[in-house]
């Protein structure tokens, strides 16, 4: 049975936590996610309805699973209240039909629009006291929280909160596994499988259309502007997306997120440049076109610089497929735009 805490018990726990935080905390942490304001809600595939306490869900518990921490955990009962402390976790939870159960999200959860109406509970630095006061049945957290705030997560567990850690996702398959894990933990596995099947079908369609490409274009992905320009190499979603549309990542010999100089980038001579920071830099394409020494780069000479919604190409959630389709339309409009 789930532990129920009295007001006195929660107060004692908060006091103990405060002592621990005064002794061991204080490190500054970087922000999570990004701040685009996309408000259009992606609808779940046909047949997906909101989560409910059906007999089928009751039969799914207790649920035993291995989460992103690598540990086996047991969820005794279907959660009725949830806090989500990572943007991608929140997007997945809403897609699973759990929006009504979510009582708090991270400061950076901006999609769907309904997520912006939920109580904000911090980001990488969580509002621990408030989370414990809310007494959610479940907390969906990140690898960062697991690696740097293990003591806090243990405090949540002591308060009777089921903690589910999202795995580190570098590919579509990793994202699918996180969706399945959340589905199993919340009694919505069938919904998760339906979302995954829809994504897989759409990705297969993109790959099928991309077979018409005769000469793959060379693509440069820019995830931060000058002067500190970063790109995406292997083991990232964007690299997998570029391969899916039958294009070539000019930084494909790199791994992960890497910084490169303007001279190095110009020497790669990309046919298309994709930026992902239009949510905080006005007219990113114009900024690229204005760079000194870039005039002979094919993407600049031919006005082939485009900005994509960063959230759809960096968050391991249901909208990754939207990112692939948008990227395909920019790189190969003759094939992907009717």
pLDDT of 338 reads 86
- The string of pLDDT tens digits covering residues 287-325 is 999 999 999 999 999 999 999 999 999 999 999 999 999
- The string of pLDDT tens digits covering residues 216-264 is 999 999 999 999 999 999 999 899 999 999 999 999 999 999 999 999 9
- The string of pLDDT tens digits covering residues 117-143 is 999 999 889 999 999 999 999 999 999
Q: What is the pTM of this model?
A: 0.83
pLDDT of 32 reads 43
pLDDT higher than threshold 70 for residue 4:
no
pLDDT higher than threshold 60 for residue 54:
no
- Alpha helical stretches, state H, the chain: 7-24, 55-59, 87-95, 128-134, 143-148, 150-158, 172-186, 189-210, 237-244, 262-268, 284-289, 298-301, 310-314, 320-331, 333-336
What percent of the chain is modeled with pLDDT above 70? 83
Q: In which band, very low, low, confident or very high, does the pLDDT at 5 lie, cut at 50, 70 and 90?
A: low
Q: In which band, very low, low, confident or very high, does the pLDDT at 159 lie, cut at 50, 70 and 90?
A: very high
How confident is the model over 173-177, as a mean pLDDT? Answer: 96
DSSP 255-281: BSEEE--HHHHHHH--SEEEE--TTTS
How confident is the model over 264-289, as a mean pLDDT? Answer: 96
pLDDT of 47 reads 37
Tokens at residue 141, please?
């957290």
pLDDT of 123 reads 86
How far apart (Å, rounded) are the C-alpha atoms in residues 45 and 95?
9
pLDDT higher than threshold 80 for residue 27:
no
How confident is the model over 273-281, as a mean pLDDT? Answer: 96
pLDDT of 57 reads 65
């Amino acid at each position: 049975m789930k532990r129920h805490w009295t007001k006195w018990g929660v107060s004692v726990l908060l006091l103990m936590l405060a002592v621990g935080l005064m002794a061991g905390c204080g490190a500054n942490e970087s922000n999570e996610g990004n701040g685009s304001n996309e408000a259009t809600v992606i609808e779940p595939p046909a047949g997906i309805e909101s989560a409910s306490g059906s007999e089928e869900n009751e039969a799914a518990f207790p649920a035993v699973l291995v989460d992103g921490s690598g540990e086996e955990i047991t969820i005794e009962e279907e959660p009725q209240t949830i806090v989500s402390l990572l943007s991608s976790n929140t997007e997945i939870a809403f897609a699973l039909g759990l929006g009504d159960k979510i009582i708090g999200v991270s400061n950076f959860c901006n999609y769907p629009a309904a997520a912006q109406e939920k109580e904000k509970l911090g980001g990488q630095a969580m509002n621990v006291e408030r989370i414990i006061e809310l007494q959610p049945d479940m907390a969906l957290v990140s690898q960062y929280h697991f690696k740097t705030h293990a003591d806090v997560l243990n405090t949540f567990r002591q308060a009777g909160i089921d903690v589910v850690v999202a795995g580190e996702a570098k590919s579509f398959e990793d994202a699918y596994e996180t969706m399945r894990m959340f589905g199993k933990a919340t009694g919505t596995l069938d919904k998760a499988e339906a979302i995954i099947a829809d994504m897989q079908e759409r990705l297969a369609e993109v790959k099928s259309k991309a077979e018409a490409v005769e000469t793959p274009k060379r693509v440069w992905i820019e995830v931060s502007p000058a002067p500190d320009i970063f790109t995406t190499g292997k083991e990232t979603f964007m690299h997998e997306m570029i391969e899916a549309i039958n294009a070539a990542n000019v930084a494909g010999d790199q791994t992960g997120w890497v910084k490169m100089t303007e001279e190095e980038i110009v020497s790669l001579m990309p046919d298309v440049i994709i930026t992902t920071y239009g949510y905080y830099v006005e007219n990113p394409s114009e900024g690229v076109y204005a760079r000194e020494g870039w005039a002979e780069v094919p993407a600049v000479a031919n006005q082939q610089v485009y900005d994509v919604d960063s959230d759809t190409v960096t968050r391991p959630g249901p909208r990754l497929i939207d990112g692939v389709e948008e990227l395909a339309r920019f790189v190969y409009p003759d094939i992907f735009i009717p």
